[in-house]
Amino acid sequence: MPNDDERFMHAALDEARRAAEAGEVPVGAVVVHAGRIIGRGRNGVEHLNDPTAHAEILAIGAASQTLGTWRLAGCTLYVTLEPCPMCMGASMNARVDRIVYGAPEPKFGACGSVVDLRAIPRYNHEFSVQAGVCADLSAEMLRAFFRAVRQRKATTNAPTPLTDPE
């Protein structure tokens, strides 16, 4: 029986899977309030042609619409990959209470891997972070995606979307 964090992370993984099906780097996110998913997002940078269209940004935007306020106090952001600085900043701006993420992101991760924006005292925003929930599932989905991209690239010379973590 999965716990709540695993259950909601599976919903984020579903979003990541849909991103991959659309040719996007598979990252998914959901925002949860009072035990209910109130916003979903999946990476749409290529499809939406927008460098800000990360899963977290879209999930936070959707959650704000659901709640009718941009202040997401009491909310938890679940995301399959450690947030980049943009998405950590968005979580701080949105006043989320908690972030739960899956795989670490060694090149951009702003939740500890490269920098920990929470550790900067003057930002004065306290939220708890739980890392590594369903991390293997997330990491395997990313690996499979980039493996397929490399294979396609080897035959068509197509550009690699975003940054290949490998």
57 contacts a second copy (rule: CB under 8 A): yes
- Check if 56 is active-site: yes
Q: Please identify, using beta-carbon distances, which residue of 37 and 118 lies nearer to a second copy.
A: 118
Q: Please identify, using beta-carbon distances, which residue of 1 and 126 lies nearer to a second copy.
A: 126
65 contacts a second copy (rule: CB under 8 A): yes
Q: Please identify, using beta-carbon distances, which residue of 94 and 100 lies nearer to a second copy.
A: 94
Segment 80 to 139, residues that bind a second copy, using CB under 8 A: 84-90, 92-95, 107-108, 110, 114-115, 117, 120, 122-123
Catalytic site residue from 56, 126, 140, 166: 56
DSSP symbols for the chain? ---HHHHHHHHHHHHHHHHHHTTS---EEEEEETTEEEEEEE--TTTTT-TT--HHHHHHHHHHHHHTSS--TTEEEEEEE---HHHHHHHHHTT-SEEEEEE--TTT-TBTTS-BGGG-GGG----EEE--TTHHHHHHHHHHHHHHHHHHHHHH-PPPPS----
Can you give the binding site for a second copy, defined by CB under 8 A? 45-46, 49-54, 57, 60-61, 64-65, 68-72, 84-90, 92-95, 107-108, 110, 114-115, 117, 120, 122-123
Q: Which residues are catalytic?
A: 56
